[in-house]
Structure 1
């Protein structure tokens, strides 16, 4: 198997739903990061052998294979193909896995993996709103909304509402500090949104967030429950992409990769709890890499809901000071199809800043699946 490296990566800032990207088409937003990642990589577009993008709600402007249409908008030659995949919240992380697998197997030398989601223009569930689960499925499993799953996780792990809100406040505080220190500037490509306005700062973090404000929010999924809009991820708009390559090809081109992909995995998990998969995926990917959680210098575990990374921390025995150190989806937002590569890009940059060697990325996904990836920074 050939070694697979990450040459470059970039993302847009993340906009709130109905926020700064409300008037921006998803295919055009995706085209921006595709063009930029090729430019930053110093790779001719015709060298790219596939564009693999994640997108969850594939309707409207996000339908019709948005990876392909975005690549055409970005000026890639017509013989560069594109494919759009849906593994729910881990879609673009899975895009990385598919691209890496093709390169490792020798089918390709160069591929772009990424994702896009406009939760403003293609609202969540708008592609399935008329569809009810099969009775053959519901006879086997209790199929519930993800928010109900989050309630079940909070209950099973005995997290209090106050603990969930404390974790959420920390997410905002870490994100605001990261923005103030300019930690995201290198990874974000500026986007013109009209009338001379250029956006390059994540829109989600709220400086006015307090424990009192979070405590005052009503629960959404269960009366007298624990999950609120404040301790759940924000609906968002955004796009992200990474340039993947065989190490041999990167050397031939005289490129200096940022990181190599050490191990990757995907697992199925309880479809009712649904969001606990990162625990199993982490254990499996660590075993594949012959590493331990102590070897990881940073980890990104998507904050779909506060109980998800909290349960992961508890069961894995991980260090909370290494988790989502610059905030997560509760504060920075969660543009579904784009989140995987967004977090991967942030993880690469954080390892560079901190001098860390290994990073772990794990994301929970709808209907009970999860991806996990381990990367190693290249000095």
Structure 2
């Protein structure tokens, strides 16, 4: 039976809004990691059967199937196709799932999966057109006319799981502290391909990590969505630019090409939940992944739960009593940033790197997604 293995994973540094990556077209940012993943393995890009690329705001510079334009921008042969995926924040994690499924089915031998979002150049919600709602009449009959607001959903989760301001701020501070420690110790360096901007400036490190933050500073920030709420800019993910790519093949093809697999895609699932509460789906997705895998929670050595908001990760942790040091051990999107369509691949790249460094056999990744969805992936270190 064919399997799907990851032989390389690489990402850009994550640029803060209007930061060091602002001047780079998202197709060129994508091309950068496509070429990085190829150069690290030494394969001919002509052997790539497809590029499957996540992107949420597919408008303007990110439209016209950015997967294909990225491959061509990378200088790859015209024969390499590409397709772009939108499962909201989980787009590039879903790209990995599609790539793995295609390899296992025998439709592909070699795929690059990943994603991009340049939120400085293409602001969030850019695809929305004034006066036109993506919610049709039947949806509105079922769920109401209001467009789902993720910030209010994060507030609802905080209330449902009894999370106060002190808890979400403390979690957020820890995210920055862990990310700062990982950066200081060079733990991110193996996974990052530095980017040279148009003016010659080299961006080699994540820009959103804050040093020297305190609970007092976080406590002074006003709630962003509900005056009486707990969700602030400080305990939410950052608006970010970035891209990441993973090279996926089968064990047999890897052996033929002299490639050394890093991890196997052990289990890949997706599920849905209440689209108005929206951000709770990582909980049932995790349960589904564990059930499908035949593994116990205790078998997993690292958990990556996307920090869209601190309340999301804390609600997940309340449901799964895992050691705190195993949850987002290098910080998450609160500190590093959340480049929407690129985040799933970025998180997976970081998790793989952490698994290699710590010789951790199993890692589980999950993330909330617009519309009340969540992907969950279990990787097995080889």
Q: TM-score of the superposition, structure 2-length normalised?
A: 0.97
Q: 1:139 aligned to 2:128?
A: no
Q: Find the counterpart in structure 2 of residue 19 from structure 1.
A: 19
Whole-Å separation in 1 of the counterparts to 2:168 and 2:266: 32
> Greater CA deviation, 120-129 or 88-97?
120-129
Match of 1:299 among 287, 303, 320: 303
**1:297 CA displacement:** 0.6
Q: 1:332 aligned to 2:344?
A: no
Q: Find the counterpart in structure 2 of residue 2 from structure 1.
A: 2
**1:117 CA displacement:** 0.2
Conserved? CA contact 1:27–1:66, under 8 Å: yes
Encode CA deviations 1:74-125: one digit per residue, 9 max, x unaligned.
0111111000110000000000000000000011110000100000110000
Encode CA deviations 1:319-371: one digit per residue, 9 max, x unaligned.
22101000000000000011001110111110111111100010110010000
SS of structure 2 residue aligned to 1:186: helix
Match of 2:286 among 275, 282, 289: 282
Whole-Å separation in 1 of the counterparts to 2:252 and 2:67: 26
Match of 1:208 among 200, 212, 219: 212
Whole-Å separation in 1 of the counterparts to 2:365 and 2:42: 26
Whole-Å separation in 2 of the counterparts to 1:208 and 1:84: 39
Q: Find the counterpart in structure 2 of residue 177 from structure 1.
A: 181
Q: 1:374 aligned to 2:378?
A: yes
Q: 1:40 aligned to 2:40?
A: yes
Runs of 4+ in 1 over 6 A off after TM superposition: none
Q: 1:255 aligned to 2:254?
A: no
> Greater CA deviation, 89-98 or 246-255?
246-255
5 Å matches for 1:102-117? Answer: 102-117=102-117
Conserved? CA contact 2:21–2:203, under 8 Å: no
Encode CA deviations 1:179-237: one digit per residue, 9 max, x unaligned.
00000001000110133311110000111321011100011111111100000000000
Whole-Å separation in 2 of the counterparts to 1:195 and 1:279: 44
Q: Find the counterpart in structure 2 of residue 223 from structure 1.
A: 227
SS of structure 1 residue aligned to 2:191: coil
Q: Find the counterpart in structure 2 of residue 271 from structure 1.
A: 275
Whole-Å separation in 2 of the counterparts to 1:339 and 1:135: 32
SS of structure 2 residue aligned to 1:356: coil
Whole-Å separation in 1 of the counterparts to 2:360 and 2:378: 13
Q: Find the counterpart in structure 2 of residue 66 from structure 1.
A: 66
**1:139 CA displacement:** 2.1
Query: What is the alpha-carbon root mean square deviation over aligned residues?
Result: 0.9
Gap runs ≥5 in structure 2: none
**1:39 CA displacement:** 1.1
Residue-pair matches, total: 378
Q: Find the counterpart in structure 1 of residue 78 from structure 2.
A: 78
SS of structure 1 residue aligned to 2:5: strand
Whole-Å separation in 2 of the counterparts to 1:134 and 1:214: 39
Q: 1:157 aligned to 2:161?
A: yes
Conserved? CA contact 1:234–1:334, under 8 Å: yes
Conserved? CA contact 2:30–2:244, under 8 Å: yes
Whole-Å separation in 1 of the counterparts to 2:74 and 2:333: 28
**1:129 CA displacement:** 4.2
**1:240 CA displacement:** 0.4
**1:43 CA displacement:** 1.4
- Closer/same/farther in 2, CA of residues 319 and 129 from structure 1, 3 Å limit: farther
Q: 1:243 aligned to 2:258?
A: no
**1:317 CA displacement:** 2.1
Conserved? CA contact 1:313–1:319, under 8 Å: no
Whole-Å separation in 2 of the counterparts to 1:178 and 1:46: 36
